């Protein structure tokens, strides 16, 4: 881990986190298509997060190479895996030089091995299926951050319970699209402070060192968890959720 000092050249980049491609069993977008789509939206780093449940050690090596090939001079594709427990409740996205750990390893083992490999681990969507109830607080020491806003599961506003939970664990906030398709496009980003050019190693070092800020609409996501802006977003999300449920019911008739 290399700390940033005033003498070092610093670069701020905006990353989109928790992105699934066709390499996941429930994804359809190619890496090249994702690169083009997010470049148009001003993102220069893709923190990929494929489901581990269909991977193997050989497939992981192939995927790392594919991410390197898909990267361009404008967009860096960083490979990552999302591990889940046996009944698909707790999910942990992992980045870094961490060996493939099996398709559905024990979550405690995921965190321990990630720490040993100096990797990055994030607790994803803690309120999905009440995953937070299963989470062992002792695991917090091996985590880098907690998702307080997951576009797929939390919608248009941050999850206030997740914000409070991250604070109780003493962990910084993370925002993620959980991208599987166009419906997850949303102005959420992780702004990373790099100590040099945008490389996979530099991005992972910034995450390990906590040199990041969770943004929504180009401002601090935490500021939108309360106050007038937070109330407006929560109201918009409630209206969206009601409309979505109504549409689903109408389509079933």
Please state the domain extents for the chain.
Answer: 11-224
Which whole number is the average pLDDT over 1-25?
82
Whether pLDDT at 215 is above 60: yes
* Residues 177-186: tens digit of each pLDDT: 999 999 999 9
Other beta carbons less than 10 A from residue 182's beta carbon:
8
Confidence of residue 242 (pLDDT cuts 50, 70, 90): confident
pLDDT digits (tens, 9 = 90+) for 171-207: 999 999 999 999 999 999 999 999 999 999 999 999 9
When pLDDT is cut at 50, 70 and 90, the band that residue 228 belongs to is: low
Q: What is the DSSP string of the chain?
A: -----TTS--EEEEEEEEE--TTSTT----HHHHHHHHHHTT--EEEE-EEGGG--HHHHHHHHHHHHHH--SS-EEE-EEEEE-TTS--EEEEESS-----SS--HHHHHHHHHHTT-EEEE--TTGGGHHHH--GGGGGG-SEEEEEEHHHHTTS--HHHHHHHHHHT--EEEE--BSSGGG--SEEEEEEESSS--HHHHHHHHHHT-EEEEETTEEGGGGGSHHHHHHHHHHHHHHHHHHHHHHHHHH-
Residue 178 in tokens: 């959980």
Measured between alpha carbons, how far is 130 from 20 in angstroms, rounded to an integer?
Answer: 22
What is the structure's pLDDT at 125?
98
The pLDDT score that the predictor gives to residue 46 is 98
167 class by beta-carbon count within 10 Å (0-12 exposed, 13-18 middle, 19+ buried)? middle
- Taken as a whole, the chain contains a residue count of 253
pLDDT band at 230 (very low <50, low <70, confident <90, very high): confident
pLDDT category at 5 given cuts 50, 70, 90 is low
Task: Compute the distance between CA of residue 215 and CA of residue 176 in angstroms, rounded to an integer.
Answer: 10
pTM above 0.85? yes
Instruction: Provide the pLDDT for residue 8.
Output: 61
Tens of pLDDT, residues 42-76 = 999 999 999 999 999 999 999 999 999 999 999 99
11-224 belongs to which homologous superfamily? Metal-dependent hydrolases (3.20.20.140)
pLDDT in tens, 91-147: 999 999 999 999 999 999 999 999 999 999 999 999 999 999 999 989 999 999 999
Per-residue pLDDT averaged across 142-156, rounded? Answer: 97
Residue 17: is its pLDDT beyond 80? yes
Q: Does the pLDDT of residue 250 top 70, yes or no?
A: no
Identify the pLDDT of residue 213.
98
Q: Does position 3 have pLDDT exceeding 60, yes or no?
A: no
For residue 247, the model assigns a pLDDT of 58
| pLDDT greater at residue 19 or residue 226 | 19
At residue 32, the pLDDT reads 98
Residue 2 has pLDDT above 60, yes or no: no
Whether residue 236 is predicted with pLDDT greater than 80 in this model: the reply is no
Closest CA to 115 of 90, 103, 97: 97
């Amino acid at each position: 881990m290399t700390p940033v000092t005033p003498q070092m050249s610093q670069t701020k980049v905006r990353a989109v986190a928790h992105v699934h491609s066709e390499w996941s069993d429930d994804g359809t977008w190619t890496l090249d298509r994702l690169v083009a789509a997010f470049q148009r939206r001003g993102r220069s780093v893709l923190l990929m997060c494929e489901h581990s449940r269909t991977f193997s050690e050989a497939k992981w090596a192939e995927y790392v190479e594919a991410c390197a090939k898909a990267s361009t001079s404008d967009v860096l594709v960083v490979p990552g895996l999302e591990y889940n427990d046996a009944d698909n409740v707790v999910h942990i996205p992992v980045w870094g030089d961490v060996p493939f750990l099996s398709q559905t390893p024990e979550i405690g083992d995921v965190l321990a091995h990630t720490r040993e490999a100096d990797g990055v681990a994030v607790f994803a969507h803690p309120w999905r299926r009440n995953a937070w109830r299963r989470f062992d607080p002792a695991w917090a020491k091996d985590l880098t951050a907690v998702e307080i806003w997951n576009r797929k599961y939390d919608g248009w506003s941050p999850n206030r319970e997740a914000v409070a939970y991250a604070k109780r664990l003493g962990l910084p906030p993370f925002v993620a699209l959980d991208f599987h398709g166009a419906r997850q496009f949303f102005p959420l980003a992780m702004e990373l402070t790099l100590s040099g050019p945008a490389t996979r190693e530099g991005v992972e070092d910034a995450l390990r060192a906590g040199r990041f800020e969770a943004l929504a609409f180009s401002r601090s996501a935490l500021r939108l968890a309360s106050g007038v802006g937070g109330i407006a977003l929560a109201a918009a999300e409630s209206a969206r959720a009601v409309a979505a449920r109504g549409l689903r019911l109408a389509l079933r008739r």
